[in-house]
């Protein structure tokens, strides 16, 4: 069975005001001290936490697993651990893909971050955005590129399901996933054309880096790409999700997508002939609507309800879900998500109930560490 791993980017905020805090170095130092006493991993650090572009964020990655129950336990555990270390620095952690409150982010120190800031200017400064990246194992680069070519039309549905960034600089953006719009300002981000082969993929990546616009292959920020470090495809379209059960639902669906695409490739079925221009519209529509407005149907590229788009994704991967044992988890997860809404809907409901964005952030920090069953 294919392994799955998840990366989450979390926001450090003040427990009372909800304002982002530039405390990642202090939180990482706390994690280092804790790991020195209670080693938890074999990577030399004893923990999985990393800094991100901005000091207001912290990232963690799960280990690759095959069972969704194990993945859920990892996410629950690392979120709780992140919150514990944040508390030592006087902060709390919130799984929010953008800051609801106004913020002037602080860039982390390092040559790579300095290069990004110099090259991309205000676009880099504004990238205080939190994503959820899902890695799924593949047997080879050739299989991986075949998968990338065949999952393209389905990725926007994942953006809609995960949407968790309705607010930007103290205002309602009108979007479910405003993170996706901010992220797509970067020059290599977004949907891409069909590659056709691993050689063609790598040629394109080399050509992009050789332009000098990008520093290295780590700045190939496609919606889905071959990992530069692991034998995986990495799907990067999702917001970091408010509730800890949602990334597991996404991971199960994405593994199903990868397996379904790989089987289609082995049968000799060509990728869908959807243009990148249409995929950009589908991506925009998903970011705008979330689950609270129309989406583009992945198979027709015509407007449909979010419920129908999500059902289409489920039916597309159902055989793979049944074989992996994830079908019941996904069916129940989809039903719950459609009923209660994604993070964007929850944040807006909290604002109506609480009356201010500070209270929204405080409540979201509590939801972030509420263990999912």
Nearest to 259 by CA among 201, 213, 317, 305: 317
| C-alpha to C-alpha distance for 45 and 367, rounded to whole angstroms | 28
DSSP string, 262-307: HHHHHTTPPPP---HHHHHHHHHHHHHHTTSS-EE-TTT-SEE-HH
The stretches of 139-177 forming alpha helices (DSSP H) are 141-151, 155-162
Q: How far is CA 317 from the centre of its chain?
A: 20
DSSP string, 204-247: HHHHHHHTSSSSSGGG--BSEEE-SSSSEEEEEEEEPPSSTTHH
Whole-model pTM: value is 0.96
Contact of 365 with 15, CB cutoff 8 Å: yes
Q: How far is CA 144 from the centre of its chain?
A: 19
| C-alpha to C-alpha distance for 162 and 31, rounded to whole angstroms | 28
| C-alpha to C-alpha distance for 251 and 132, rounded to whole angstroms | 10
Which pLDDT value is given to residue 22? Answer: 97
Q: Which domains does the chain carry?
A: 4-8+97-361 (3.30.590.20)
| C-alpha to C-alpha distance for 290 and 190, rounded to whole angstroms | 17
Eight-class DSSP state of 154: G
Q: Which residues contact 130 (CB under 8 A, 6 or more apart)?
A: 8, 9, 10, 11, 57, 95, 96, 97, 98, 165, 179, 239, 240
Write out the E strands in the chain. 4-13, 50-51, 57-61, 92-94, 131-137, 167-168, 171-172, 224-226, 232-239, 295-296, 303-304
For 264, the token pair is: 């289609």
Contact of 58 with 12, CB cutoff 8 Å: yes
Place of tokens 């555990």: 77
Q: Per-residue confidence of the chain (373 residues) as pLDDT tens digits?
A: 999 999 999 999 999 999 999 999 999 999 999 887 554 444 446 679 999 999 999 999 999 999 999 999 999 999 999 999 999 999 999 999 999 999 999 999 899 999 999 999 999 999 999 999 999 999 999 999 999 999 999 999 999 999 999 999 999 999 999 999 999 999 999 999 999 999 999 999 999 999 999 999 999 999 999 999 999 999 999 999 999 999 999 999 999 999 999 999 999 999 999 999 999 999 999 999 999 999 999 999 999 999 999 999 999 999 999 999 999 999 999 999 999 999 999 999 999 999 999 999 999 999 999 987 6
Q: Which neighbouring-strand residues pair with 232?
A: 137
Coil, strand, or helix at residue 123?
Answer: helix
| C-alpha to C-alpha distance for 152 and 136, rounded to whole angstroms | 15
Which pLDDT value is given to residue 35? Answer: 80
Phi, psi of 329 (to 5 degrees): -55, -45
Coil, strand, or helix at residue 76?
Answer: helix
């Amino acid at each position: 069975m294919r392994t799955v791993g998840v990366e989450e980017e979390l926001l450090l905020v003040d427990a009372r005001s909800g304002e982002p805090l530039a405390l990642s170095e202090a939180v990482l130092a706390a994690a280092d001290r804790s790991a020195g006493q209670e080693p938890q991993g074999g990577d030399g650090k004893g923990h999985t936490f990393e800094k991100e572009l901005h000091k207001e964020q912290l990232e963690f990655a799960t280990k690759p697993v095959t069972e969704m129950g194990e993945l859920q336990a990892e996410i629950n555990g690392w979120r709780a651990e992140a919150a514990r270390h944040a508390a030592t620095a006087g902060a709390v952690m919130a799984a929010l893909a953008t800051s609801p409150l106004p913020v002037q982010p602080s860039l982390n120190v390092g040559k790579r971050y300095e290069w990004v800031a110099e090259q991309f200017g205000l676009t880099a400064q504004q990238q205080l955005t939190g994503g959820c990246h899902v890695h799924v194992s593949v047997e080879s680069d050739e299989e991986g590129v075949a998968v990338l070519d065949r999952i393209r039309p389905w990725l926007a549905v994942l953006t809609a399901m995960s949407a968790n960034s309705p607010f930007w600089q103290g205002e309602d953006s009108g979007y479910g996933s405003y993170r996706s719009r901010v992220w797509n300002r970067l020059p290599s981000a977004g949907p891409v054309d069909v590659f056709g082969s691993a050689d063609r993929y790598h040629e394109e990546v080399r050509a992009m880096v050789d332009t000098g616009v990008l520093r290295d292959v780590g700045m190939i920020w496609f919606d889905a790409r071959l990992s530069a470090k692991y034998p995986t495809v990495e799907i990067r379209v999702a917001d970091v999700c408010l509730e800890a059960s949602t990334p597991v639902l996404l991971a199960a669906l994405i593994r199903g997508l990868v397996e379904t695409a790989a089987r289609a490739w082995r049968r000799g079925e060509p990728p869908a002939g959807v243009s990148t221009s249409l995929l950009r519209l589908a991506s925009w529509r998903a970011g705008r609507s979330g689950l609270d407005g129309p989406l583009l149907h992945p198979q027709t590229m015509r407007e449909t309800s979010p419920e129908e788009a999500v059902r289409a994704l489920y039916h597309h991967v159902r055989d793979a879900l049944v074989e992996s044992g994830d079908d019941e988890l996904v069916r129940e997860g989809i039903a719950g998500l459609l009923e209660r809404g994604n993070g964007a809907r929850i944040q807006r409901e909290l604002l109506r109930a609480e009356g201010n964005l500070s209270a929204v952030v405080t409540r979201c920090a509590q939801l972030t560490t509420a263990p999912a069953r």
